Amino acid sequence: MKARLRRLLGTPLHPLLERDIYLSHRDLPEVLDRYERGDPFFLYTGRGPSGEVHLAHLLPFELSSYLQQKLGVEFWVQVTDDEKFLFQGALSLEETRRLGRENLLDLLALGFDPKKTHILFDTASIRSLYPLALKVAKRVTYSTAKAVFGFTPQNNIGSIFFTAIQSVPAFLPSARAGRPVPCLIPCGIDQDPHFRITRDVAEPLGYPKPALIHNRLLPGLSGEEKMSSSAERKDGVIFLNDPPEEVDRKLSRAFTGGRASVEEQRRLGANPEVCSVWALWRSRFAPDPKEFAEITRTCRSGELLCGECKRRLIPRVQQFLGEHARRRADVERWVDSAIVDGPPGGTA
């Protein structure tokens, strides 16, 4: 699969692909076959606005940005302000809407073509989403939704319906074009079940089954399997708006694959596979393959100690966040005009 991607996208591949952060897929060859026959696909991914954006949230957007640049494809992003309101008891709809727009700026600042970017902001774009969501919903029983998502009778009726809304972006470009337009969804491996229903209803509704490409989870800095701000401790997460001193503090304390003592590490080497700092180098902070290989080799050999490794990473992360903040201001100029049916507003 990587050999095929290299032929299509050039070499080296984006680190997310080359370094197996995107680790599995469903039906990707079919989408590429069609692309090579002149039938472009579109990319769809989403963001549930329940808080600030952190580094782990970037992965599907960074791959999408890369694929858009290389292949010129359309990109659809869904902001599920409805979902986060329905599933998170404490959040108001006003708050998920506000976060949704803030989050969009952070995510789109990775670099997208404004002319080929379409935003579905659920409560604002619902006039476009709802008719197709009804067609999905009519084909999904409570029994099926319960089997996939583990609902109980205490779940609210909005959360049960929501999977229909989340399926729509995979079909909307086909419905608009009046012909099948293949869809590729980059997403975290933990999001796969959400799209099982989408894939199941696609063909009965006359749309192509969306293909998926899954990234592995970015580990948290405190040693968690997943970098997630829903954890109690926010120190495991680097937010895009963290000031430089916060980046320094968090990374200086980050969990690594180092040994109990310097002497032991020099002798036995460290273990990058379990290291949250190495995971960051791997994902985006050592884009040069030679540099990344060198970091990995010297980590394993014991030449590079964890303190030194962190001191090299910290300014890279600080610099990225600073540049990102500047690119975010550019996005502000076009984001509202890319929202299907217009920006959110009015009575919520």
Backbone dihedral angles phi then psi of residue 320, each to the nearest 5 degrees: -60, -45
Q: Binding to its own copies (CB under 8 A): which residues in 191-230?
A: none
Q: What Cα–Cα distance (Å) separates residue 244 from each residue in 219, 238, 248, 251, 254?
A: 21, 11, 6, 11, 15
Is 261 a binding residue for its own copies by CB under 8 A? The answer is no
What are 272's two structure tokens? Answer: 């990058």
Binding mask 147-186 for its own copies (x = CB under 8 A): ----xxxxxxxxxxx-xx-------x--xx----------
Between 71 and 126, CB nearer to its own copies: 126
Candidates 140, 254, 304, 314; binder of its own copies (CB under 8 A) is 140
Q: Report the residue from 135, 194, 259, 284 that binds its own copies according to the rule CB under 8 A.
A: 135
Interface residue with its own copies among 108, 119, 145, 314 (CB under 8 A) is 145
For the chain, the farthest-separated pair of C-alpha atoms sits apart, in whole angstroms, at 67
We find the least distance from the C-beta atom of residue 13 to its own copies, in angstroms, to be 36
Closer residue to its own copies, CB minimum distance, 38 or 89:
89
Residues 53 and 106: beta-carbon distance below 8 Å = yes
Give the tokens for residue 297: 């080799």
Considering only residues 225 through 254, tell me which ones interact with its own copies, judged by CB under 8 A.
none
Find the shortest distance in angstroms from Cβ 41 to its own copies.
19
Q: Which is nearer to its own copies, 38 or 178 (CB)?
A: 178
Q: Least distance in Å: CB of 91 to its own copies?
A: 10
CB of 172 within 8 A of CB of 207? no
Using CA atoms, how far residue 37 sits from 31, 33, 34, 69, in Å, is 10, 6, 5, 19
- CA-wise closest residue to 64 among 119, 126, 132, 7: 119
Of 124 and 238, the one with the shorter C-beta distance to its own copies is 124
Of 85, 133, 162, 124, nearest to 339 by C-alpha is 124
Give all strands of the β-sheet with 42-47 in edge-to-edge order: 22-26, 211-215, 183-188, 42-47, 74-79, 117-121
Q: How far is the CB of 206 from its own copies (least distance, A)?
A: 12
Q: Are 59 and 21 in contact (CB under 8 A)?
A: yes
d(CA 82, CA 95): 11
CB of 205 to its own copies, least distance (A): 12
Q: Determine the size of the site formed for its own copies (CB under 8 A).
A: 44
Q: Torsions phi, psi of 155, nearest 5?
A: -65, 145
Contacts to its own copies from residues 94-123, by CB under 8 A: 123
For residue 317 the two structure tokens come to 């992360």
**Min. distance of Cβ 107 from its own copies in angstroms?**
23
Best CA proximity match to 83, nearest among 210, 221, 201, 194: 194
Q: 300-304: long-range contacts (C-beta < 8 A, 24 or more apart)?
A: 300/269, 300/270, 300/271, 300/272, 301/269, 302/265, 302/266, 302/267, 302/268, 302/269, 302/270, 304/270
| Among positions 41, 42, 85, 281, the unique one binding its own copies when judged by CB under 8 A | 85
Task: Select from 3-11, 130-138, 211-219, 253-261 the region that touches its own copies (CB under 8 A).
Answer: 130-138
Residue closer to its own copies, measured from CB, 45 or 163 = 163
Interacting positions 10-29 with its own copies (CB under 8 A)? none
User: Which stretch in 100-108, 143-151, 223-231, 319-327 sits in contact with its own copies by CB under 8 A?
Assistant: 143-151
Binding site for its own copies (CB under 8 A): 82, 85-86, 93, 123-124, 126-128, 130-135, 137-143, 145-146, 151-161, 163-164, 172, 175-176, 341, 346-348
